[in-house]
Amino acid sequence: MLTIAEVDHVALLSRLDLSAEEKKLYGDQLSKILEYAKMLDELDTGDVPPTAHVLPLKNVYREDRVGDHLPLEKAMQNAPERDGNFFKVPRIV
């Protein structure tokens, strides 16, 4: 069973600001799902390699050459706030 402190910790890592009701709800539901996932302990996976990806591809590189790039105005068209050619954000420090 996840404690409220654990839920708080995961919420902070997730950058989510949860209400008290949400913490309770997610705490309960995640506990139930993680309990269900415990069935994986039945499997002996000692010698089994992990599969992160099904294709036999590795390190796909392109040639280091300048191509067509998004024009600056298009790249910034969705900026919530901008200052010239910069994305503007609230105070950091």
Chain residues that interact with other proteins, rule: CB under 8 A: 7, 9-11, 13-18, 22, 26, 29-30, 32-34, 36-37, 39-41, 43, 45, 48-55, 57, 60, 62, 70, 74-75, 77-81, 87, 89-92
**C-beta of 5 vs 15, nearer to other proteins:** 15
Q: At how many degrees (to 10) do helices 4-13 and 20-37 cross?
A: 90
Min dist CB 74 to other proteins, Å, is 4
Number of neighbouring beta carbons within 10 Å of residue 30: 15
Work out the angle at residue 21's Cα, subtended by the Cα atoms of residues 17 and 22, and round it to the nearest 5 degrees.
45
